[in-house]
Amino acid sequence: MRIGRLWVVLAVVSVLTVTPATASWALRPTPAPPSGFHKYSTGGINGRSYSGVSVSRQDLIISPSSCVYQSEWIMDSSSQNWDELGSEYGPGCVGPSNSWYWGWASGGAWHTSGTHALTPGQTHLFSVYYYIGHYYYYVDLTNFFTLYDNRYYNQDFAGLESYDASARVGPFQASSLQYTASAGSWTPWSSPEIQRLDSSPMCGHFISVTDWQAGENVGTTC
């Protein structure tokens, strides 16, 4: 993992309204322009009161014709409320192409809270975690955002989300997957795990309990 610079970006604090988790599980899209194509290759974990998600991965070197995200989410089962951190590529994303982005959703309404230019091909540690009434969004050692959100969630996910049917992505690994539960310490993911893997051209699987491998338009190589 590459360690980021030891400086802190001033965080914008937002208020997240609590909405009961009542509906069945399904990932909801990160906002992007209307598209006939929208698919996922993501690994997940559930069954606890989650307060954090962390993944080590490489930022992609791609130039898609529409938006592609490498994302991680901590979310509830209603799919209406979540905290999200990731990398975005191509036109039509929540911010500029080749950027890290971060934000949150309440009641299904997405709020982009910031972006930062990334360097394709570099590997970083992406983390979102809870501490005393707030969620902290980190890339390596840099805190990019702090969100007031005084609750836990029941699902963690990480992987690939695509709005471009022709994009060739990966395969890449979302590695060293960890969670925190009830504001506890970081813990490696463990079985049982869940996944959202859509049909071709998406592909993906757990290569270990802490490593999800995802790709698009790469045949059976992932």
Compute the distance between CA of residue 21 and CA of residue 209 in angstroms, rounded to an integer: 26
* Radius of gyration of the chain from its Cα atoms, rounded to whole angstroms: 16
* 147 touches 113 (CB < 8 A): yes
Segment 85-91 shows an average pLDDT of 97
Domains and CATH numbers, the chain: 39-216 (2.60.120.200)
Segment 169-196 shows an average pLDDT of 95
Alpha-carbon separation of residue 78 from 21, 22, 27 (angstroms):
5, 6, 9
**Cis peptide, bond prior to residue 192, ω within 30 of zero:** yes
Segment 70-76 shows an average pLDDT of 97
Q: What is the mean pLDDT of the chain?
A: 86
Higher pLDDT, 13 or 149: 149
Strands 109-117 and 123-131: unpaired
Q: Is 146 left (phi over 0), alpha (psi -120 to 50) or beta?
A: beta
151-161 residue pLDDT tens: 999 999 999 99
In this model, does residue 181 exceed pLDDT 60? yes
27-63 residue pLDDT tens: 444 555 555 899 999 999 999 999 999 999 999 999 9
Record the tokens describing residue 212, joined without a space: 């999800």
Compute the distance between CA of residue 83 and CA of residue 77 in angstroms, rounded to an integer: 13
pLDDT tier at 190, thresholds 50, 70, 90: very high
Length of the chain: 222
pTM, whole model, 2 decimals?
0.85
pLDDT at residue 31, as a whole number:
55
